[in-house]
Structure 1
Amino acid sequence: MVSLKRFTLLTLTTGFATVDAQTKTGKTTRYWDCCKGSCGWSGKASVSQPIQSCDKQDNPLSNMAAKNGCENGGQAYMCTNQSPWAVNDDLAYGFAAVKLAGGSESSWCCACYELTFTSGSVKGKTMVVQATNTGGDLGQNHFDLAMPGGGVGLFNACTNQWGAPPQGWGQQYGGISKRSDCDSFPAKLQAGCQWRFDWFVGADNPDVSFKEVTCPKALTDKSRCVRNGQTPT
């Protein structure tokens, strides 16, 4: 158990209330498949509501049971406001597909994690992500960071939603390779695409140390999902 003194110190120094003070190590990849996130269905975790999904025109859906846009006849897609953004030069917010050792969707859906990058061009920077999805092809302690143009991976709803090429923008895994490629994206996705080459400095799957923190309100205001018992900061 974390002492009150220690808990308060962590909150003051990082700005986020620590849920689990144990720091672990993990890896990252990147993706944007336009699909409804796995945490978008009821019953996955003890939360206020599932992650918000959007229709093909990027309007929030009220029907949480709407079929995934990755499937034939699906109407539910990833909302464009789940793109990453810079808070300042050293801190960014965003969303991710997550898979953690010893856990399940009930423990990570809508939870937030403070990632400190430990390798690559982004080393030393911090990103707080909320778990919106689970990657079936992810390893343990793996964060697949959602960023437009990051590659569709296993599934692709971007062609149906936005008219992207059959394998998504760029390579199926890894996505586009230069910032200017973002110029051809739908307007709502361009800033999130450019973020990868600006704040993220084009980093290629950097390693991280991470811990669970109480979600920033700036993230839950977009996802509409809060874990029961937590108050966004």
Structure 2
Amino acid sequence: MTTRKGSITGPKSSQKLNQDEEEAWTCAKCTKIFKEPEAQLMECQRCKEHFCISCLKKTKAEYSMLCKTDAMWFCGKCRIVMEQHAVTDIEIEKRCKQIMESYEERITSLEKTVENKCDEDKVKQIVCEEIKSCNEEMVKIMVKEEVSKIEAPITEEGCDEDKVKAIITEEISKIQKPDNKGDSDSTNNEIDKAAKNITRKETVTNVLEEINERKSRENNLIIFGIPEIDEESKEVREITDKERLK
């Protein structure tokens, strides 16, 4: 609520006749122009339109009381809108509160998830398990590859199967034998093992070559007392040795 003297005028509610004259106020309802300084009009706090007390059907005493209390005043149309907005504002406030509570719960949940993902002990445990699993798979793959590369494969009829299994099992157990060090060094030990995969492959290759060589020497004989001939040809030496053994 405001008097004419303290009002904030808009382009539609007041007219300025010239620079020397005071502003003229127009009632938005009766369109009457008020030029007197003591004219009694009320300004809507929402639409900023002005209304005379005659159109508002208010007495001078009521007007004076409203001016003294400095209460906010709205015209009929704006009062309906403001009442609706008051209800809507309460609903919006409740909704905003619910949204904020939901965000706080989600943030708390995310913080817990991040803490679990950053647990150093769990990370070390996962790394160790993955390295062990990779080592076992790599050993199996290397053995399979080396067996397929041997030119003279070892058959069931040509070798002792139990002996081959025993040698391979012994070498694999050496490769996969865990270290007996402290828990603080377990991760580094597993990483060092993974870095030595090339040497492990060479070890498996050597084992298979040793098995093949043992098989090739299985039926060899050593004979003493036979003179050795000075012949460069291997075939001639073999024929001569066979004739002397007849």
Q: TM-score, with normalisation over the residues of structure 1?
A: 0.20
Structure whose residues are more often strand by fraction: 1
Q: TM-score, with normalisation over the residues of structure 2?
A: 0.20
